[in-house]
Structure 1
Amino acid sequence: MRRGSPYKLTAMANNNREQVMAFKKWLLIGLVLITPALGPAQAQEGDIYRMPPPSGPYLIGRTAYQWIDESRPEVHTEDDEDFRELLVEVWYPAEPEEGAEVGLYLEEAMGNLFEQMFGLSADQMDAIQSNAYPDAPVSDEQPSYPVVIFDPGFSAAPRQYSVILEELASHGYIVFSPSHPYVTTLTVFLDGRVIEPLSQNRLQTLWAPIDLYDAEFTEVWVPDVQFVITQVEALNSDNPLFAGKLDLERMGLVGHSMGARTISEVCLLEDRCKAAVNLDGSYSALVELAFDKPYMTILADRGVEEFVNTFEHSLEALERDFYVLMIP
C-alpha cells in the first residue's frame, strides 16, 4: 500500500502465504472501488462534465448483450410466456482501430431520468463522453484476462458505475455487469425497449407477505447472477469478441449494497467464483456459514466494531482469508 494512505487494511483471517498471494490481485479491486470518483462524472469549468481518465495501462472497450433465461418465468409481469431477460454490459481491455471514437456515458433515456432525479441537465448528461470504445477488439497484450462480475446496488444501473468499471478494465479485467429489470432505475435493451422499475408499492404487493428485498434477493437477483456466469462461460467458447479471452479460473464477484449481498451468496454457492469483494453491502444468512474463498468487505471505520461483533462467529468459521478495508 502506498505510504501515507488513509485506508486501513485488516486481515481478519490469514491461513497461509499461498492464500494471501492468491488474493493480492483482488486487493486492487478493493482499492479501485473506493476511488473518490463514485459519482457520474467530474465537474469542470463551465459546468461541463467529464469522465475522469482511468489509471491503468489499457484502453477500454465496451459492449452489451441481451440474454433470455428460458428456464425462469418473468415474475414481475403477468404474461405467462414472458421469461427473465437481462441486459449485461461489458467493459474490457481493448485495442481500438485507428480513428475509433469513444462512446457516450449514458443512453439518452437515462440522461432524461437523471435530470428528473438529480436536477442535472439532460443535455449535458447526454453529451458526456465515456473513456470506452464501443465494440472495440479485445487487447492482444495478454492471451486472456481475469473476469469480474459486478452487481450494482438496488435500483442502480451499470452505467452509473462507469468510473469504477472503466478503471477495472484499464487494469486488465473483463467486467460484466447486469441490470435487474423492473428494479433497476432504467433498463434500455439493445432492441430499443425501455423497462422502467416497478413502484415500491407494486413490488411489496408482488412479494407479500415476504419482505420485498429478501424476495428479490433470493428469487431474482441470485439466479440472475448465476445465469450471467453461465452465459459468460458460453462466450468464452464461440463468441467472436471474447472466445478464448476469458480466464474463467480467475473469476471474481464484486457488488455494491444489494449487489454485494447478492454476490456474497452466489460466491458461496458457486465453485465458479474464486473470490469476492463486498462494497458497503449486507450479508445473507448463508454467508454466516464457513466461507471457503478469499473475501473482502469495504466499509467506513465507524462500522468496523459493529461488523466484528455481529460476525465474530462467522469469522472464526472462515476457511480462507478475510479482509476488511476501512475508510476513515
Structure 2
Amino acid sequence: MRFRASLLISTALLTSTLVPAAEPPKLPTPSGPFGIGRLSYDWTDTARLDTQGPDPKRNRELMVYLWYPTERPSSEPHSEYLPGAKQIDADPELGHQMHGGYGDVWPQILSGAVYSHAIENAPATKSPKQFPVVIFSHGMGGSSFGYTALLEALVSRGYVIAAIQHPGTADAVVFSDDRIAHEFHDTPPPGLTPDQMFHRMMDQTGKGIETGAADERFALDRLTQLNTGSHKQFALAGRLDLNRVALMGHSAGADFAARACELDARFRACIDLDGAMAPIEALPEYPDGKTIQQPLLFLEAYHDEAHIFGTHEQKLAFFQKEKEQLAKCPPGSYDVVLNPPGMMHGSFSDAYLVHSPNTPEQTTQALHNLTLAQSYILAFLDKNLKSQPAPLLDDPNTPHPDATIQHLGT
C-alpha cells in the first residue's frame, strides 16, 4: 500500500530520477517588500518521549528555524541553503543518500553555490510592530529547507514562518551540538500476513501523524512563552501576533497540520498541501471524531485515477470519502486543484527548481507551478490572517485556467 501524497513519499526518491543541472540552480528572488532573516532553535519537549528516535527514553527534541521579515537588503544575500549539510555529508550513510538523491547538485549545496536569500540572525524590520505566524511542516524523507522558495516568498510578504525539522520524518535533522537524527523506518516482525502488514502500517502512520501534530502544538507553546520574554531571550520577543497563527504542511506534514487543527483552536487557519492519503482518506480521522473547525485550504495537484494506488473500487470509495470529509469543513474553506502542465506532488517544494535539467522550458514550468501554488497560499493567508480580500479565491470573474476552486462549508 502506498499513499498518493502522504507519509510514504520521500523527497530523496522523488528527486533521484531527475537529471541535475550543470550550472548551480538558483531560487527565485522573493518578490515581496521585505528581506529574509533566519534563526535556529533547539527545543526539547520535556512532556513527551521520542518514540520515533533511536532512543525512545529521550525526550522529544526539535530543531525549529524561524524565517522572518527584515529590511530589504541592497544586494542579493547568500547563506546556506541547507544548514548542517557538511555534517550530513560526513555521515557515511546520509552522505551517500544525499549524493544519490541530489546528484551533482549536492556538491553545489555543500560549496554554497546553491544558496538561500536569508541572512542569519539579521535584525527584524521595525515595521509592522507584529507579524502573523505560519508554522510549517515538511513531508516524509524531506526537510523544511526543501521548501525554501515558498518560505522566502511568504516571509517577503510579512509573515514569520516557524519551520519544524521533524526528527524521524525528516531525512536528517542536525541538532545544535551536531548530533544527527536519521529518518525513522519501522521494522515489522517477520511472518506477518499482508492484512497484518497493512494494519501495522496504518497504526504506524496514525502514530506518526499524532507525533507531528504534537510537535506543531509544542512549537506554538514555546513561541508563546518566548514572545512574552525579553529580547535577550528571544530576538522576536513581542513581535509575534499569536492571535494570527496558521498551520501549513506538505504531504505527511499536511496531515500533521490537519490533525493539530482538529485538536487545537489556537490555530486560526489550516493549509493542506497535497496531503490526501489515497486510497484511504483525505484528512486524518481518529476515534475521537474531531474535525477541522478552522478555514481550510485543501490545495492539491491534480491526480487522475490511473496515478492513484489501489483497485478501482478502493479509488471510488476514496473519492466518496474525500467528498464527505471536505463537506464537513467550515465556511471559508476551499478545495483548490492545480492542473497546469508538469504539476506534481513535488511542485510545492524546490524539487523541480533545484533538480530540473535547467532547460529554459523545464525551469519556466517548475517556476510557474510553484508560483501558482504560492499565489493561492498567499491569498488564503492574507484573507484569514490579515483580513484582506481574496479575489483569487472568491471572485468568480477572475478564474485561473490552471486551477479549479470548490467553495466548502457553504
Q: How does 1:245-256 map to 2 (within 5 A)?
A: 245-256=239-250
Query: Aligned pair 1:319/2:310, yes or no?
Result: no
Query: Aligned pair 1:234/2:220, yes or no?
Result: no
| Deviation of 1:249 (Å) | 1.0
Among 179, 185, 207, the alignment partner of 1:215 is 207
Query: Aligned pair 1:117/2:108, yes or no?
Result: no
Secondary structure of 1:195's counterpart equals: strand
Question: Does structure 1 retain, via aligned residues, the 8 Å contact 2:43–2:63?
Answer: yes
Among 151, 154, 175, the alignment partner of 1:189 is 175
| Deviation of 1:288 (Å) | 7.5
| Whole-angstrom CA distance in 1 between matches of 2:20 and 2:117 | 16
- Shift of the 51–317 alpha-carbon distance from structure 1 to 2, 3 Å rule, reads closer
Q: Name the Cα RMSD after superposition.
A: 3.3
Q: How does 1:7-86 map to 2 (within 5 A)?
A: 47-77=23-53, 79=55, 81-86=57-62
Among 92, 97, 117, the alignment partner of 1:131 is 117
TM-score under structure 1 length normalisation: 0.77
Secondary structure of 1:141's counterpart equals: coil
| Deviation of 1:200 (Å) | 4.4
Secondary structure of 2:81's counterpart equals: coil
| Deviation of 1:183 (Å) | 2.9
165-174 vs 72-81, greater mean Cα deviation: 72-81
| Deviation of 1:225 (Å) | 1.2
TM-score under structure 2 length normalisation: 0.62
Question: Does structure 2 retain, via aligned residues, the 8 Å contact 1:149–1:253?
Answer: yes
Equivalent residue pairs, number: 286
| Deviation of 1:226 (Å) | 1.1
Question: Does structure 2 retain, via aligned residues, the 8 Å contact 1:69–1:227?
Answer: yes
Secondary structure of 1:47's counterpart equals: coil
Q: One-letter code of the match for 1:284?
A: P
Q: How does 1:238-277 map to 2 (within 5 A)?
A: 238=229, 239-277=233-271
| Whole-angstrom CA distance in 2 between matches of 1:198 and 1:175 | 25
| Deviation of 1:116 (Å) | 2.6
| Whole-angstrom CA distance in 2 between matches of 1:208 and 1:314 | 24
Secondary structure of 1:278's counterpart equals: strand
Among 162, 167, 180, the alignment partner of 2:148 is 162
Question: Does structure 2 retain, via aligned residues, the 8 Å contact 1:151–1:259?
Answer: yes
Question: Does structure 2 retain, via aligned residues, the 8 Å contact 1:291–1:320?
Answer: no
| Deviation of 1:78 (Å) | 6.5
Question: Does structure 1 retain, via aligned residues, the 8 Å contact 2:295–2:329?
Answer: no
Query: Aligned pair 1:297/2:298, yes or no?
Result: yes
Question: Does structure 1 retain, via aligned residues, the 8 Å contact 2:213–2:260?
Answer: yes
| Whole-angstrom CA distance in 2 between matches of 1:203 and 1:155 | 23
- Shift of the 315–180 alpha-carbon distance from structure 1 to 2, 3 Å rule, reads closer
Q: One-letter code of the match for 1:217?
A: I
Q: Which runs of 5+ in 1 are unaligned?
A: 1-37
| Whole-angstrom CA distance in 2 between matches of 1:54 and 1:202 | 45
Question: Does structure 1 retain, via aligned residues, the 8 Å contact 2:167–2:173?
Answer: yes
| Deviation of 1:46 (Å) | 5.1
Q: One-letter code of the match for 1:248?
A: L
- Shift of the 58–291 alpha-carbon distance from structure 1 to 2, 3 Å rule, reads same
Q: Which runs of 5+ in 2 are unaligned?
A: 1-13, 90-94, 193-198, 277-282, 306-314, 340-410
Q: One-letter code of the match for 1:152?
A: H
Q: Structure 1, residues 8-29: CA drift from partner, whole Å, max 9, x if none?
A: xxxxxxxxxxxxxxxxxxxxxx
Secondary structure of 1:272's counterpart equals: coil
Q: Structure 1, residues 111-159: CA drift from partner, whole Å, max 9, x if none?
A: 6453232323432122222100001111112010100001111121111
- Shift of the 271–45 alpha-carbon distance from structure 1 to 2, 3 Å rule, reads closer
Question: Does structure 1 retain, via aligned residues, the 8 Å contact 2:20–2:102?
Answer: no
Question: Structure 1 or 2: larger strand share?
Answer: 1
- Shift of the 209–172 alpha-carbon distance from structure 1 to 2, 3 Å rule, reads closer
Q: Structure 1, residues 282-316: CA drift from partner, whole Å, max 9, x if none?
A: 21115985532111111134569977632333344
- Shift of the 209–263 alpha-carbon distance from structure 1 to 2, 3 Å rule, reads closer
| Whole-angstrom CA distance in 1 between matches of 2:139 and 2:200 | 22
| Whole-angstrom CA distance in 2 between matches of 1:268 and 1:70 | 23
Among 78, 81, 86, the alignment partner of 1:108 is 86
| Deviation of 1:214 (Å) | 1.7
193-202 vs 220-229, greater mean Cα deviation: 193-202
- Shift of the 303–145 alpha-carbon distance from structure 1 to 2, 3 Å rule, reads farther
Question: Does structure 2 retain, via aligned residues, the 8 Å contact 1:280–1:298?
Answer: yes
| Whole-angstrom CA distance in 1 between matches of 2:325 and 2:52 | 34
